[in-house]
Structure 1
């Protein structure tokens, strides 16, 4: 973890910088571009926003991480329990591997316990959140609004009352505003015009990996541009097509050594 990292509440002066950092964090991760910068504005405007739990991470005067909380409910017939849900959890992509997201999670979980929140529910990366104590909602009889359960639907009990909570997880109806494409397009004009990438048809999830472009090849080392960084990488044995300079690749980032290219692809938006 970075020693001089500051975890604190967000202020209005942070808003634009937080949104840009979040946009960079999620860019091309689940779809071409992202919607998470719009999500932050929707959350701030919502009556269901929980600012007393939400926090940003500051490093050397710059916003390098953020997590936002909103109210959520577990509903079982006429029984309704109020909890909180988190998201987005964002980290400046060039600073990944420094436990910034972990620092935000630990601090806000501690705050949630302090104010008496019964538990936290979320839909997120199933290989990441269990390290903070999150477990599959199916273990507690909790499903999504349609009665479904899946690995990414997780919860973290924070007090003994949680054992009596079961039912369907309901989020704030304000999240429906994320489908307002016209507003997303208008907000996006306020930020740099980053390149959109489409890896595959249908739903895209890039868990634990990243998208980059090969800048140069020297012997068996591929130098991959990831935002402002150039990351040395080797080719996975499972990759049959050797990339050249300019190739789009998916890679697993080794923050302490040589990374691994796991896929060579063609941007479907540029065919």
Structure 2
């Protein structure tokens, strides 16, 4: 299976949103609106086109990932980071390493672009394999109530989260 990971283009948007919708259709912890979130985030000021990737097999889009800017805020202090949300793979292609390839490539690009950390709200048995740890380790909190082990952070640069504390501020699109 030859998987190509590349930056999403405007002509991919409809296909990507279909992948996102199908990927979350039967997800337990989902409101099934992730495809609308992706569309809204693309039009926002937190959108980073280079961090919106698709996975293709035989020129068919089978996976999608998006990382957008966020802030960790502690009083007047603000620290920029990235939100990994969502990562999607068509159900028939899940558990074949496509999601992992998307995540690894997006983290590589993020680091190359100078970003220093990534935050994810996700499965506590999946994301640690990429180096994610509970964000509470650094004193980083979520603005809503979720299990501590599901809210994670990753340093893209060693020590980049040292001394960073506060609450994550997601863009308004996450709450619309």
Summarize the alignment of residues 42-81 of structure 1 with structure 2, pairs less than 5 Å apart.
Answer: 42-81=40-79
| Structure 2 SS opposite 1:125 | coil
**What is the TM-score with the length of structure 1 in the denominator?**
0.61
CA distance in 2, matches of 1:167, 1:147: 15
* Aligned counterpart, 1:20: 18
Question: Could you tell me how far 1:33 is from its partner in structure 2?
Answer: 6.8
CA distance in 2, matches of 1:149, 1:17: 32
CA distance in 2, matches of 1:116, 1:146: 28
Structure 1 or 2, whichever has the larger Rg, is 1
Question: Could you tell me how far 1:21 is from its partner in structure 2?
Answer: 1.1
Tell me, yes or no, if structure 1 residue 37 matches structure 2 residue 35.
yes
Conserved in 1, the CA contact under 8 Å of 2:37 and 2:173? no
* Aligned counterpart, 2:143: 145
Question: Could you tell me how far 1:30 is from its partner in structure 2?
Answer: 3.4
Summarize the alignment of residues 196-215 of structure 1 with structure 2, pairs less than 5 Å apart.
Answer: none
CA distance in 2, matches of 1:110, 1:75: 25
Q: 1:111 and 1:30, CA in 2 relative to 1: closer, same or farther beyond 3 A?
A: same
Question: Could you tell me how far 1:161 is from its partner in structure 2?
Answer: 2.8
Q: 1:103 and 1:148, CA in 2 relative to 1: closer, same or farther beyond 3 A?
A: closer
Where in structure 1 do 4 or more consecutive aligned residues deviate above 3 Å? Answer: 30-33, 146-149
CA distance in 1, matches of 2:30, 2:132: 29
How many residues were matched structurally? 175
* Aligned counterpart, 2:170: 171
Q: Any idea what the Cα deviations from partners look like across 1:56-97, whole Å, max 9, x if unmatched?
A: 101101100010111111111111001110111000100112
Q: 1:17 and 1:134, CA in 2 relative to 1: closer, same or farther beyond 3 A?
A: same
Conserved in 2, the CA contact under 8 Å of 1:138 and 1:149? no
**Gap regions ≥5 residues in structure 2:** none
* Aligned counterpart, 1:129: 127
